[in-house]
Amino acid sequence: MARRAEGAGTWVAESRTAPAAARAFLAASCIACIAGCAVGPDFVRPEAPAVDHYTEGTDPSATREAEGQAQRLERGAKVGGDWWKLFGSPELDALMKQAVNDNQSLKAALASLRSSQANLRAGYGVFYPQADVDASAVRQRTSLVKLGESNATPFVFNLFTLSATISYALDIFGGQRRTVEGLQAQVDYQQYTAVATYLTLTSNLVNTVIAEAAYREQAAATEELVRDQREQVEITEAQAQAGTVNYASALSLRSQLASVEGTVPPLRQKVSQAQHLLATLSGHLPSDWAAPKVAFSALGLPTTVPVSLPSELVHQRPDILAAEAQLHQASAAIGVATAALFPSVTLNASIGTNNNAVDNLFSASGGFWSLGAGLTAPLFHGGELLNKRQAAVDAYDQALASYRQTVLGSFAQVADTLRALEHDGEALDDQSRSMKAADEALRLVKANYDGGVANYVQVLVAFGQYHQARIAYIQARAQRLQDTVALFAALGGGWWDPEGSLLNDKEASK
């Protein structure tokens, strides 16, 4: 029972029953939290593949020297977070910082990460008692006929109520803990998705800069060849008018000139597309912004390339880590589905007061309180709960297979790029020697033709050989640079580096 406290507008309990019950309520909650165990499997991180190399046999340790440069593949070294600086271009470095700051895909990925973090913080609320306060004012008309008073006169009255309720679900079998565990795994997934977006952005940006510079170099080489051929056409036409050569020679050279001129517009189109892509990656409209020009010759080749150990790759690649997070989430889902097979217990309490007048709302006569506990146990659901658990187990098996496939693909990508660098050195060395030989042959043939010793067929052949050799050289050098980028990306891109990674400024790697 309760009495009004003298000189006060509140009421206090006269009996010791309510405080004792409250203490019991809190004690039971604490014991249940400590003693409760989470059903379902505890997630265990998959082991890294038990291999010590990426390729069949042994991994290459160095590439063939080309143009006086060979790449040393440093086994066990870490990829720096600012690996693009190894290409020696200040313009590329400035462009990278701008792209990371303004790229919309990265902003979207980071916003998704923040959303999942907020959901996780919200999920932690299940571990605390849920308290609510309720206030109501009702005016109603009541008839006593339903109580058997047939002659009673209906009456109208007001009812004011102020109450507070508190409830707590005991997580005896860990269903709520598994739910929060799944939310944490979702945060991990969004984090590594953001990291993967960052890695894709940085590698695509460097590749595009290399491609744009290479296309401009190819276009310049072709335009230089066009100028030489125009001069040759003018000389041949003059010789034809003088009667020293057949006019058909001039026509053949003009046809060759037109054919080479036709290759320039597609190269210019590729340059434009690369420039537009750079603008898009940097978060700008192509009409409002132009990327700084990076000379192809100014792009240096990283001569020391770090190669992470295979045992470390699974902890560096964001796609592997994202797949692992999905596997963790699937494991937690099994626990949630398993906990649903067991009873659930909820503790609840309420306290309040009501009266038909606001002035008397806190009178002792209107006070009420309650303490209670509820238990709900699944009895028959037509196989729903068991099948949902089996579905969760099958989803875990699917996530495990996807994880393993991601690991296989990642190791294959590293193996591909290692072999590619090995072959790129060989190809560039061959193309460099071929271009030098073609250039020397062209100069000799042109001198002989101008002196009347060589015929126009020899000139045409020499022009074609030199043009093909120079374009092939530019493509081989660009491929070597881009395959180096591919290796940095395949090894994870150094996003974990606290000093070099620009992602730390975006708070996605924390």
pLDDT at 510 over 70: no
Distance CA 191, CA 113 (A): 6
Output the pLDDT for position 150.
67
Output the pLDDT for position 13.
32
Predicted confidence (pLDDT) per residue in 62-72, tens digit: 999 998 899 99
Predicted confidence (pLDDT) per residue in 107-165, tens digit: 999 999 999 999 999 999 999 999 999 999 998 887 776 666 666 677 788 889 999 99
Measured on CA atoms in the order 303, 309, 313, 316, is the torsion positive or negative?
A: negative
**Collapsed DSSP state (helix, strand, coil) of residue 333:** helix
Predicted confidence (pLDDT) per residue in 258-279, tens digit: 988 999 999 999 999 999 999 9
Distance CA 209, CA 277 (A): 10
Percent of the chain with pLDDT over 70: 90
Q: Confidence band (pLDDT; 50, 70, 90) for 32?
A: very low
In a domain, 390, yes or no: yes
DSSP strand pairing (155-170 vs 344-355): antiparallel
pLDDT at 443 over 50: yes
Question: Which has more confidence, 56 or 34?
Answer: 56
Check if the beta carbon of residue 175 is closer than 8 Å to that of residue 343.
no
**What is the mean predicted confidence (pLDDT) over 206-211?**
97
Output the pLDDT for position 508.
47
Predicted confidence (pLDDT) per residue in 370-414, tens digit: 999 999 999 999 999 999 999 999 999 999 999 999 999 999 999
Q: Confidence band (pLDDT; 50, 70, 90) for 29?
A: very low
**What is the mean predicted confidence (pLDDT) over 241-255?**
82
Output the pLDDT for position 496.
93
Distance CA 194, CA 113 (A): 7
Of 320, 281, 278, 306, the residue nearest 497 (C-alpha): 306
Looking at 316-453, list the stretches that DSSP marks H as alpha helix, in order from N- to C-terminal side. 318-339, 384-450
User: 3-state SS of the chain: helix, strand, coil percent to 5?
Assistant: 60, 15, 25
Question: Which has more confidence, 144 or 215?
Answer: 215
- What the block records as the tokens of 175 is 């269903």
- Its domain, for residue 460, covers 77-128+175-213+266-342+384-506
Predicted confidence (pLDDT) per residue in 408-432, tens digit: 999 999 999 999 999 999 999 999 9
Output the pLDDT for position 461.
80
DSSP strand pairing (155-170 vs 130-142): antiparallel
Distance CA 374, CA 254 (A): 95
Task: Kindly report the average pLDDT of the chain as a whole number.
Answer: 88
**What is the mean predicted confidence (pLDDT) over 320-327?**
98
In a domain, 47, yes or no: no
Output the pLDDT for position 366.
86
In a domain, 420, yes or no: yes
Percent of the chain with pLDDT over 90: 69
For residue 164, give the H/E element and its range.
Answer: strand 155-170
**What is the mean predicted confidence (pLDDT) over 207-227?**
93
In a domain, 161, yes or no: no
Residues 6+ apart with CB under 8 A from 122: none
In a domain, 334, yes or no: yes
Q: Confidence band (pLDDT; 50, 70, 90) for 34?
A: very low
The pTM assigned to this predicted structure is: 0.85
Q: Confidence band (pLDDT; 50, 70, 90) for 8?
A: very low
DSSP strand pairing (344-355 vs 130-142): unpaired
Q: Which residue has the tokens 């340790």?
A: 61
pLDDT at 437 over 90: yes
Distance CA 456, CA 467 (A): 16
Please state the domain count of the chain. 1
Predicted confidence (pLDDT) per residue in 279-294, tens digit: 999 999 999 998 899 9
Of 121, 112, 120, 123, the residue nearest 193 (C-alpha): 112
Q: Give the CATH number for residue 436.
A: 1.20.1600.10
In a domain, 327, yes or no: yes
**What is the mean predicted confidence (pLDDT) over 356-371?**
86
In a domain, 92, yes or no: yes
Q: Which of the residue ranges 6-20, 266-280, 454-468 would you say has the lowest mean pLDDT? A: 6-20
Output the pLDDT for position 357.
86
In a domain, 450, yes or no: yes
